Amino acid sequence: MGILEVKGVNKRFGGLQALGDVNLSVRENTVHAIIGPNGAGKSTLLNCLVGKLIPDSGSVMFDGQSVLGRKPHEINQMGISRVFQTPEIFADLSVLENVMIPCFARRDGAFRLHAYETVRKEADIREQAEAMLADVNMLDKRNMIASSLSRGDKRRLEMAMCLVQSPKLLLLDEPTAGMARADTNNTIDLLKEIKAKRDITMCIIEHDMHVVFSLAERITVLAQGTPLVEETPENIKGHPKVREAYLGE
Ligand code: ADP
Ligand code: MG
């Protein structure tokens, strides 16, 4: 049993079958890549995992519980965190303040109680956010305004904002899209460091095969909304079905 078990998921947009009978099993503490041509349904699948889209049928189990019917913030509290294709950071706040935000984002209880807790916990949270920034090698940039960061550092900051919530599963949708080679390599190194330091499962959607082969232990190839193969990187290279889907051979 994987930490994430997707079974028979279907999703239509009008006449278009974006996902057709998708099965996916992601084992705990592994890096699992989902690859496939443009329009294959990768982002749609990811949106079904985080509650942004509701599948027409099928099941999505995370850590033994169904995510279907839950709101995105509830799924987030179950331990699934997502890194967006374009970094979602607060441009006018400092790097440190950005990482403090997800620590505060517990909204249960009455407002007064929440405000009390917030003030009481501020020192702890600052410390926690600083430790997180040290973990991603950004502590020296903690007082910089987020908008002034390089593209690579914005990505790094967003990663810190996800990781500070201690997710069990981190979902990444094309984390190196639009990056130059140097930033791509930095991101690969960062993800390797993160993986080495904690128990975390990563599910990564990626176009760049260099990234996929550097990180993934298992690869699922999606084409026209349906998984073609699930294999190790060694067995994916040169796989006839994969060549067919990508190259039309
Ligand atoms: P990928 O991420 O693999 O490139 P997507 O999941 O974004 O693919 O898209 C899969 C298919 O579903 C595409 O044909 C896309 O145009 C279509 N699609 C995605 N989202 C929507 C939507 N909200 N409404 C209608 N069609 C959509
Ligand atoms: Mg996509």
Cα–Cα distance between 67 and 205 in angstroms, integer? 20
Domain membership of residue 84 (yes or no) is no
Pocket lining: 42 vs ligand 1, CB cutoff 6 Å: yes
Q: Which amino acid is at 169?
A: L
Q: What is the pLDDT of residues 79-107, one digit of tens each?
A: 999 887 666 789 999 999 988 888 776 54
Residues 37 and 66 in one domain: yes
Place of tokens 């440190």: 96
Residues 70 and 93 in one domain: no
Cα–Cα distance between 36 and 221 in angstroms, integer? 5
Whether the predicted interface score ipTM is above 0.85: yes
Confidence of residue 1 (pLDDT cuts 50, 70, 90): confident
Residues 141 and 191 in one domain: no
**Nearest listed ligand to the Cα of residue 22:** 1
Residues 178 and 240 in one domain: yes
Residues 159 and 213 in one domain: no
Cβ atoms 132, 99 nearer than 8 A: yes
Rounded to the nearest whole angstrom, what is the distance from the C-alpha of residue 44 to the centroid of ligand 1? 6
Residues 152 and 173 in one domain: no
Model pLDDT, residue 126: 92
Return the ligand 1 atom nearest residue 53 CA: 23
Pocket lining: 143 vs ligand 1, CB cutoff 6 Å: no
Domain boundary at 166, 194, 211, which? 166
Choosing from 44, 52, 246 the residue with most ligand 1 atoms within 8 A of its CB, the one to mutate for a pocket test is 44
Rounded to the nearest whole angstrom, what is the distance from the C-alpha of residue 18 to the centroid of ligand 1? 6
Domain membership of residue 64 (yes or no) is yes
Largest CA distance in the chain: 63
Give me the CATH number covering residue 21. Answer: 3.40.50.300
Return the ligand 1 atom nearest residue 45 CA: 6
Pocket lining: 18 vs ligand 1, CB cutoff 6 Å: yes
Residues 161 and 216 in one domain: no
Domain membership of residue 34 (yes or no) is yes
Q: What is the pLDDT of residues 213-230, one digit of tens each?
A: 999 999 999 999 998 888
Q: What is the pLDDT of residues 135-186, one digit of tens each?
A: 999 999 999 999 999 888 888 899 999 999 899 999 999 888 878 888 889 8
Place of tokens 């990508």: 246
Pocket lining: 38 vs ligand 1, CB cutoff 6 Å: yes
* Mean local confidence (pLDDT), 195-221: 92
Which residues 6+ apart lie within 8 Å of 95 measured at CB?
133, 138, 141, 142, 143, 144, 146, 149, 157
Residues 146 and 176 in one domain: no
Residues 19 and 136 in one domain: no
How many domains does the chain contain in total? 2
Pocket lining: 43 vs ligand 1, CB cutoff 6 Å: yes
**Nearest listed ligand to the Cα of residue 224:** 1
Q: What is the pLDDT of residues 22-37, one digit of tens each?
A: 999 999 999 999 998 8
DSSP string, 99-127: HHHHHH----S-HHHHHHHHHHHHHHHHH
Residues 156 and 173 in one domain: no
Residues 26 and 132 in one domain: no
Residues of the domain holding 175: 1-79+167-249
The sign of the CA dihedral 128, 104, 169, 85 is negative
